[in-house]
Amino acid sequence: MTKCDVAHSYRAAGVTDRLPIAVLVSGTGTNLQALLDSVHGRDAEIVAVASSVAGAPALERAAAAGVETGVFARAEYPDRGARDRALAGWLAERGVRLVVLAGYMELLGEPFLERFPGAVINVHPSLLPAFPGLGAIEQALAYGVKVFGVTVHFVDAGVDSGPVILQGAVELPDAREPEEVLAALRPLEHELLPRAVALFARGALGRDPHNPRRIILR
């Protein structure tokens, strides 16, 4: 089974019409809200929201939507691997088939990724491979770019280095402040992330046999 066939096999098993997904958050949760308002209850069912930060506003959004929440703070575990295993176990117990990182400010290692092969996606506020990691918008402003953007990608063991699913760009030749760029990118994020989740849930994402890094729609 190729990595992107996870949703397909799930469908074939006829478990339910909606793909059970989890959303991992650390902060405000506007991307979580976009998912709750669009794909939740349609192509996918958000069955769990996990935060790396206790008291993150995103948790209130989940609770308001009646979605179960959990907090997995790095400091509560002896190391990252232990946190990864606890988090993966909690999600697996809830039948999660796709993990969506929506403003999740932690790295996930192999112990986590091996539990959800080819089924972890992230939204990042730059046109990858430019400006991976923390402070992407600040990095782009410091570089002096004229075009900013958003990438939704599969997660691998690197930092924002997995195959690209969707990208969107916006021209901001005069931008100076991160807040201004963020405001322009928000609507793109809120459109692209739910769209990528819906495509995954429909089994519509495949790999180009000539270039497995290239995600194709089928």
Residues that bind ligand GRF (CB under 6 A): 27-32, 58, 102-103, 123-125, 189
Catalytic residue among 124, 153, 190, 210: 124
- Least separation in angstroms between CB 63 and ligand GRF: 15
Residue type, 191: E
Q: Using CB atoms, what's the residue nearest to ligand GRF? A: 103
- Asked if 138 and 177 count as a contact pair (C-beta separation under 8 A), the reply is no
Q: Which is nearer to ligand GRF, 92 or 169 (CB)?
A: 169
| Separate counts of helices (H) and strands (E) for the chain | 7, 9
Cα-based torsion angle of the residue sequence 82, 84, 90, 95 in order, rounded to the nearest 10 degrees: -140
Q: Which is nearer to ligand GRF, 31 or 52 (CB)?
A: 31
Q: Which is nearer to ligand GRF, 10 or 148 (CB)?
A: 148
Q: Which is nearer to ligand GRF, 125 or 163 (CB)?
A: 125
Distance CA 53, CA 50 (A): 9
- Least separation in angstroms between CB 33 and ligand GRF: 8
- Least separation in angstroms between CB 55 and ligand GRF: 14
- Asked if 181 and 141 count as a contact pair (C-beta separation under 8 A), the reply is yes
Distance CA 66, CA 212 (A): 38
- Least separation in angstroms between CB 184 and ligand GRF: 11
Catalytic site residue 153?
no
Closest-CA residue to 27 (of 87, 115, 101, 86): 101
Q: What is the DSSP string of 81-133?
A: HHHHHHHHHHHHHTT--EEEESS--S---HHHHTTSTT-EEEEESS-TTSS-S
Instruction: Give me the active site residues, please.
Output: 124
